[in-house]
Amino acid sequence: MKYRKFGQTDMMVSEVGFGAWAIGGPAMAGDIPIGWGDVDDHTSKKALLHAMMIGINFYDTADFYGLGHSEELIGEVLGNNPEVIVATKVGHRLNKDGSIFTDYSKDHIINSCEGSLRRLKRESIDFYQLHTARIADLENGECVAAMEQLKKEGKIRYWGLSLNTFQPKPEADYMMTHHMGDGFQLVFNIINQEALHIVEKARQAGYGIIARMPLQFGLLTGKFTKHTTFPEDDHRTFRLPPDILSELIDALEQVWPLTGKYGISKTQLAMSFILSFEGISTVIPGIKTPQQADLNTEGIIKLADEDMDIITDLYQSKFRDILMRMK
């Protein structure tokens, strides 16, 4: 395992981290699935232990993943291990009717941090993230004041912002301009390169970058076909509807020849593409099993410039149009 410095912090993070949304298990926001369907806690615990054994030291979760269950599993297995770096998030809540709303008030952030610390069984959160806060929230100032207070109290070490899923808003620019926080989490992969400009600007400004969704909900592993369907309690039922899935599979046929050139798998190509960018600190594929931990960390290489150009050009000519029609 290789390690990279997270921005200007003192954290050296494994270039492949552990995305812990999936191990939170099934959860619903009203009639909308916000989990990944059924998972086995025993297998999830084995995955966490195996990941640590092979050198993964960065674990990303949220108080909303499994409505706290993901944090609980990480706390039970990894606890206050000083060799482990844990990132979690705050800001998403459920109304009484099950609908999702966001809360970036100072009181909520401070109270939620205490809850996350209890579930994680840690004395301090290494990287605490506002879960898709927007410009208005940052301008309001309560969330920034809460983060700075928690940092002063030693309950968090560093903080940042997890950006909107598909189309990054100007929040990252706002934070960098005002010298707020220490890093960002954003979606970045072969299909979705909307945040590329943020990656380079953040690198120059000394911010760490966490790249999430490297495999686009599993699509970039190559295991899906045009006939793939998902359980009703799996959020991919609406993230990857049949028409979008079919178009993406067709467009990816122009990418996959690169796997033959390098002698690597589709997963390895997807991971290698992201990590070929110097500004990326760590990539967090979703991991549910020990086998997935191995598959997501093996065979990562630096792609040649001409092959990087092929993939970025395909984004402009093919993927971006499809992306704009995705939910």
Residue pLDDT, tens place only, 36-79: 778 999 999 999 999 999 999 999 999 999 999 999 999 999 99
Closest CA to 64 of 139, 162, 152, 145: 162
Question: 249 has which bridge partners?
Answer: none
What are the boundaries of each domain within the chain?
A: 3-323
3-323 is classed CATH 3.90.1200.10: no
Alpha-carbon distance values, 18 to 66, 129, 180, 250, 282 (Å): 16, 16, 25, 29, 10
Residue 147 burial (C-beta neighbours within 10 Å; 0-12, 13-18, 19+): buried
According to the model, what pLDDT value does residue 155 have?
98
**Interstrand relation of 12-14 and 3-5 (parallel, antiparallel or unpaired):** antiparallel
Look at 167 and 179; give whichever has higher pLDDT. Answer: 179
Alpha carbon 296 to its chain centroid, in Å, reads: 14
Backbone dihedral angles phi then psi of residue 244, each to the nearest 5 degrees: -65, -45
CB 18 within 8 A of CB 48: yes
pLDDT bracket for residue 228 (50, 70, 90): very high
CA angle 98, 161, 318 (to 5 degrees): 85
178's tokens: 């005002």
Q: Is the pLDDT of residue 177 over 80?
A: yes
> Cα Rg for the chain, rounded, in angstroms?
19
Model pLDDT for residues 189-221, shown as the tens digit of each residue:
999 999 999 999 999 999 999 999 999 989 999
Distance CA 232, CA 238 (A): 9
* Alpha helices by DSSP H, 253-289: 257-262, 266-275
Whole-model pTM above 0.85? yes
Closest CA to 15 of 281, 287, 212, 288: 281
Distance CA 196, CA 23 (A): 28
Look at 191 and 27; give whichever has higher pLDDT. Answer: 191
According to the model, what pLDDT value does residue 33 have?
82
Distance CA 21, CA 183 (A): 19
Lowest mean pLDDT, pick from 174-183, 239-248, 294-303: 239-248
Model pLDDT for residues 245-304, shown as the tens digit of each residue:
999 999 999 999 999 999 999 999 999 999 999 999 999 999 999 999 999 999 999 999
CB 130 within 8 A of CB 154: no
Residue 65 burial (C-beta neighbours within 10 Å; 0-12, 13-18, 19+): buried
pLDDT bracket for residue 169 (50, 70, 90): confident
Q: Which amino acid is at 286?
A: G
Give one word for 130, left, alpha or beta, with left for phi > 0 and alpha for psi -120 to 50: beta
Lowest mean pLDDT, pick from 79-83, 165-169, 268-272: 165-169
In a 13 Å sphere around the CA of 228, the CA atoms on its Cβ side amount to 21
